[in-house]
A and B are shown apart, each in its own frame.
Chain A
Amino acid sequence: MIVGVGGQGTLLASRVLGRLLLAEGFDVKVSEVHGMSQRGGSVVTYVRYGRSVASPVIDAGQADYIVSFELLEAARWLGHLAPDGHIITNTRQIDPMPVITGAAEYPSDLAAKLAAAGARVDAFDALAPAERAGSSKSVNIVLMGRLSRYFEFAETAWERALSECVPTRFIDMNKEAFRLGRDGSPV
């Protein structure tokens, strides 16, 4: 599952992942959300792959990986994580409107609480490497780089998928973002 806040580029990340898995010979389904919820709301994309995939969505207790662009969103989707599942999350926090208006508080120490709940958590700041690569918008690709550590697919296969999904003029920047996510400090 790729989760985040509308506008953070979750769709592109899921498309890169889908393209990679297709090239690796899997049946793939990617389920996206368009429309109203994209406007700064909580967004989720499901990516399922295997020999043959029926349902396009991931249900409670079924996600092997949750890649989260924002800490609170990782917490929101914890219930979807499979028993041995990993949460790979950006530690950056974006206040949702109920927090901005004072109707709710942003929970503290979420990464620790997720781990205490039994999730295998890989929390890191994805914004700094994205900015180092040249754009804060490449957080999505930094996170894909981080995710790539958990799979045995060749780095070149990821890069090929990436090149097929981003405009030519942004390829170098995104490759750098991917590399920084993949090679950054060890888990």
Chain B
Amino acid sequence: MLGNEAAARGLYEAGCAVASSYPGTPSTEITESLAEYGEIYTEWAPNEKVALETAFGASFAGRRAFCGMKHVGLNVAADPLFTISYTGVNAGLVIAVADDPGMHSSQNEQDSRHYAIAAKLPMLEPADSAECLEFAKYAFELSERFDTPVLLRVCTRIAHSQSVVETSARAEPPAAEYVKRAEKYVMMPGNARRRHPVVERRTEELRLLAEDTFLNRAEPGDRHLGVIASGTAYQYAREALGDGASILKLGLVNPLPEKLILDFAASVDRLVVIEELDPVIEDHCKRLGLRVEGKNIFPAIDEFSQNLVASALGLPAPSGRTLGEDVPARPPVMCAGCPHRGLFYALSNNKVTVIGDIGCYTLGASPPLQAMDSTICMGASVSGLHGWSRALGRAGSGRAVAVIGDSTFIHSGVTGLINIAYNGSDSTVIILDNSITGMTGHQQNPTTGYNIKGEPAGKIDLEALCRSVGITRVRVVDPYDLAQCEQALREELDAAGPSVIISRRPCALLKYVAPKPPLAVAPGKCKKCKACMKIGCPAISMRDAGASVDPTLCVGCGVCAQLCKFDSFDTALPQH
């Protein structure tokens, strides 16, 4: 099983009853897998804050509950996180957070362990799929025993690696009884002041647990080198060092043990902490007064590997052959037929400043379109544009737009739009409605009309939503129609007052979107003006004889044909 599937299996076996999450690579498959178990109510929430509050509500009501997200999602959910640490839980509450060292699919490389420390919550970190299952299951037990939400941290290489697991049957723990306890759950200052000492005592109790839990284990080997590691770093250390080192493997990464580490340190000649991202364990060791190596020989950026571990410790690491010439990069691109392409061409062609957001459409920043000026976090396009417009007035708002996808708009763009409407800037927001959450692999959202199981569900009317918050200029365009996109863009940029353009066409990868016949270039017609190359379609390349369309990639969207002054593109030609 994938680590994520295994974590879901563990949650299932523990009797999890309610799961609410927002998708985010590399966390998404945990919740997708949960949805396949009929016994668990599973949903996609509009954002991580809503998801965590929902999961807390279920725990509060007495049923075991789960919420999953990627590392940056925890920023959004941090508000409830810090306070449910004070209230504790009724039935168990497990929160999975997936970090992305190396930023395979993320905008930053933050280390979620800092949240566990700051919110004073226990955090478990599995190192393979079997542990994902075991730890997820045990997390519920820990949650109920210590009256605390429990964080489960996975990294990309654990979440998206398959390894062997053993499954067992689901337990059905009885629902916890709901008893009104305002002093525990109503966090007004008087009550919260009495809960804070409870949290501090709990941390001390968890620290005692950390000294002798099965989650932490010393694996004796050569005593000349002692390594402390968790998660992925543990596996790289095992691979690189074999039994050439003693390893203290930590599965409970907050709170960290003291005596266990001191004893381990005393048993080895040289102590090294191997951890990806920040020196959390290393700093803990230093506070214990230990002489320890860590970030002096290991980087605080990117993911590790067995060769990196070997090299940092001065051991030989294999090196590979070289080709002796540069291999061109292959960055990710918008797919052939992507509905975002036409809209981004219009933005690029009009040299508009584009305040961007998080999703597939962030690829609009890449050459040749290069139609994006900033990307920060979910929703930041809409609120950022308002700031831009207020700073520069009409001169600025007339040449800038925000672009945001349908799911991201619901996640946290709508609050920015309310600010635009309320505080009345001349901003033009473009919602790229491709009728799905695309980048994370096609999850349903409140605008699609379907729930996580594909069943009909509530469907938000984006036009009505925008109008209801006070935007009077709302229009819909088809991004496959370049002239329509350009006209809408020019008119809305020129218009006074806020406006919304909804660029609407379903993702070309959706199963129900039937591709049209591929286009072909009529022999001899192409004059090699390269106008069609400006849209960066992976199906089009320029050969000696002129533009050429790859019929296995082309879905017949026709955007290229609208750019050709020589009518070179045709669907009427016989196909290969």
Contact = CB atoms under 8 A, between A and B. Distances in A.
B238 A79 contact: no
Contacts of B362: 36
B460 interface: no
A57 to B, nearest CB: 6
A96 B307 contact: no
A136 interface: yes
A117 B330 contact: no
Interface in B27-66: 28-29
A149 to B, nearest CB: 23
Contact of B320 (A60, A105, A114): A60
Given A34-B26, A36-B25, A79-B320, A5 B157 contact: no
Contact of A29 (B26, B161, B533): B161
A6 B360 CA distance: 14
Contacts of B296: none
A61 B163 contact: no
Interface residues of A, number: 60
A165 to B, nearest CB: 12
B163 A29 contact: yes
A39 B318 contact: no
A129 B359 CA distance: 36
Interface of B is mostly: loop
Nearest to A139: B552
A96 B335 contact: no
Given A42-B329, A100-B540, A136-B552, 20 more contacts: A5-B330, A22-B164, A34-B28, A34-B104, A34-B160, A35-B26, A36-B105, A36-B439, A41-B333, A53-B163, A54-B239, A59-B317, A60-B318, A60-B320, A73-B330, A78-B322, A96-B329, A104-B326, A107-B327, A107-B328
Interface of B: 2, 25-26, 28-29, 104-105, 128, 157-158, 160-164, 232, 235-236, 238-240, 305-308, 317-335, 360, 362-363, 366-368, 439-441, 530, 533, 536, 538, 540-542, 550, 552
The 6 closest A-B CB pairs, nearest first, are A35-B105, A61-B318, A35-B25, A41-B332, A79-B320, A96-B330
Interface of A: 5-7, 15, 18, 22, 27-42, 53-57, 59-62, 72-73, 75-76, 78-82, 94-107, 113-114, 117-119, 136
9 contacts: A31-B161, A36-B362, A39-B332, A41-B333, A54-B239, A56-B235, A62-B307, A76-B330, A102-B533
